[in-house]
A and B are shown apart, each in its own frame.
Chain A
Amino acid sequence: MSDHLYAYGVVEDADFELDIDGVAGATQAYTVSHGPLAAVVTDIDTLDPELTDENARAHDDVLQDVLLDAGGRTVVPMQFGSVFKNARTLKNVLRGGRRAFTKSLREIEGLAEFGVKLVVDEDATVDADEIREAAGERFAAASVQEEENDRFSDRLVMNRSYLVDRDERAAFDEAVDAVTDDYGDVLTVQYTGPWPPYNFVDIEIGTQQ
């Protein structure tokens, strides 16, 4: 029985459906509204979905679709595994977090997150600090905000998320191209996005599911 709701993120009040593969085999995403907000959800039959590669990707995919839907929506992403017992409990959360959600939506309006990883070639020796500084300067000039992420590998010279104005996307693309031109012979640039601003939204709402 799939009477629980898996929530992906929160948007300004809207009513839409998306045919998409969601977490735990769901095939259609829809909205649950409360006041000025709506949550994007799919049905789910467990309160505790497994964090598999497939489910994590599905979570991202749905959010990306929302992000690109209707010419670009602003969405406050929820973390993986946000399951609500039913629509009532979800609406309670929307009500309880109304101020925080509204504030976040306003802050990230028109912005999207991009990820940049600089991965040094296996045999290359580089001055990591110098690269970080030079590349960081270029990226910072074309973005609104940045966030340092964990460098989980010795080969990762840089792992950052950038908040970029969607209208300034071209400038950020150019910055990435420039860094690729400068250092392409010793490293690989992994450039991903647009993502919902996972790394720039931090809302904690105490609730009972």
Chain B
Amino acid sequence: MSLKMRNLAVTAIAATSLLSVAACGSSSSSGDSGSGSSPSGQSLKGVSFTILGQWTGGEQDAFQAVIDAFDKKTGAKGTYTPAAGGDEAGVLGTKVAGGTPPDIAVLSLPGAIAQYASANKIQPASAAVQSAVSANFATEWGTLASAGGKLYGVPVDASDKSTVWYNAKAFTNAGITPPATWDDLIKAGKTLSASGVQVPISVGGGDGWTLTDWFENVYLRTAGVDLYDKLTKHQIPWTDPSVATALTTLKQIWGDPELIGSPAAAVKVPFTSSVDNVFKKTPTSAIVYEASFVATTITSDKNPAKVGTDAKVFPFPSINGSAPVSEAAGDFAVAFTPNKAAQPFLAYLASPEAAKILVSTSGSGFLSVNKNLANSAYPDATSGDLAKQLVDVGNNFRFDMSDQAPAAFGGTPNKTEWGDLQTFLVNGNVAAAQQQLEKDAKSVKWN
């Protein structure tokens, strides 16, 4: 998610400054009264606090609406600033190092919580925040927001990274139904190819993070959660046989030009185009794997396909009978200063009331894993279903592996993990890919 935003933010930066102005005018009506989980009365009158994040556009509007509702309730004054250039890690790192951290920052990398906690730069959650988090979220989400057994953050939004999107019309033309297993996915691809779809499965290899997501979903299913956790922390090397199995499995699709077209072309297709190829007016592809936020990409298209009717979703298929499991990603709000409004705001963020504002503001595309949020809060049925899936898996999910790795390994465009998987996409050499991944993993510091 963060990585998508990083890319989008560069282009969106001019547009958003205009949007944010518009947001202030329109959002005042969306706060409603209720829920006792947050402080009431004007107890924080005159307290101002700052929030740093990377959201722009519709996401920023939705988050601003939450701040406005909180301000109205408590009399505090929250100011949200998106990080310049979309580079939140860099901006935050500099601010913290310079001794002027924001009161709250929204982090998309749980690894950062551990880093800042170990350096004593962030504030542990208050009792109110702790009880709000444990009341509203599956325990695994709380664990991700903790370090050293102490809770620091609050999950704000989440995305389901085990969703495969498809063009419903293309499936009807080919007379197929959504595949439930990996082998069926391959068969579906072949049938789509026979039905005249040039590139049945659209792979956005131009952005390496899409490839890491492919790999992580396959690895989660072929190796299981225990090995996934170990590889996430680099406790097993990338030369492990389990990685070879996952890459070989991936190659069944990545290495077949009948399914993904020419790999040399796929490695140049950016994420947005990979989605566009499936849902544009004369589609050249029928299936694209990426997270739930694909919906936002579709609706921001020039001639948007209708999510739920033209654009549909099936869960990432099971491999060799693997049990259902999800990959997820999300953002966490963490307090950096003892500002009086910081903890109350975090507690408010954890409440179903704030979640409702977040997901129902139009254009935000947010999903929440708040289990006390009614599904009816979502603006459309598809996002409601996606959120329900995420809530229903409970603790049976794993957080995006590359988002947990140091950025130098799992978050650098066209380099290290991203670049190595791009190379693998093109040449299909399993052993060489493993060697290079291990070499790159070794050259960075793991916590």
The yes or no verdict on A and B being binding partners is no
Q: Which A residues are within 8 Å of any B CB, using their own CB?
A: none
